[in-house]
Amino acid sequence: MSITNESELAGMQRISEAVAYTLREMTQYAQPGMTTKELDEFGARILAGYGAKSAPFLTYGFPGWTCISVDNEFCHGIPTEHRILKEGDLINIDVSAELDGYWADNGGSFVIGKDIHGHKKLVDASKDILDKAINSIRGGVKIADIGYLMETEAKKKGLKVIKNLGGHGVGRSLHEEPDELLNYRNRFDTRRFKKNSVVAIETFISTTSNLAVELNDGWTMVGNKGGYMAQHEHTIIITDGKPVILTQMNEILN
Q: How much is the pLDDT for 91?
A: 98
Give φ, ψ of 246 to 5 degrees.
-70, -30
Q: How much is the pLDDT for 198?
A: 98
The amino acid sitting at 25 is: E
CA 226 and chain centroid, separation? 20
Give φ, ψ of 180 to 5 degrees.
55, 60
Asked whether the beta carbons of 231 and 94 are under 8 A apart, the reply is: yes
Give φ, ψ of 91 to 5 degrees.
-125, 145
Q: How much is the pLDDT for 44?
A: 98
**Predicted TM-score (pTM) of this structure:** 0.97
Domains, the chain = 6-250 (3.90.230.10)
Is 117 part of any known ligand binding site? no
d(CA 39, CA 35): 7
Is 76 part of any known ligand binding site? yes
Residue ranges of the alpha helices (H) in 114-228?
A: 120-134, 143-156
Is 217 part of any known ligand binding site? no
CA distance between the termini of the chain? 28
Residue ranges of the alpha helices (H) in 30-94?
A: 36-50, 55-60
Is 105 part of any known ligand binding site? yes
Q: How much is the pLDDT for 162?
A: 98
**Helix, strand and coil percent figures for the chain, each rounded to 5:** 30, 30, 40
Instruction: Please give the chain's pLDDT, 254 residues, in tens.
Output: 999 999 999 999 999 999 999 999 999 999 999 999 999 999 999 999 999 999 999 999 999 999 999 999 999 999 999 999 999 999 999 999 999 999 999 999 999 999 999 999 999 999 999 999 999 999 999 999 999 999 999 999 999 999 999 999 999 999 999 999 999 999 999 999 999 999 999 999 999 999 999 999 999 999 999 999 999 999 999 999 999 999 999 999 99
Sheet holding 160-161, edge to edge: 160-161, 205-206, 229-230
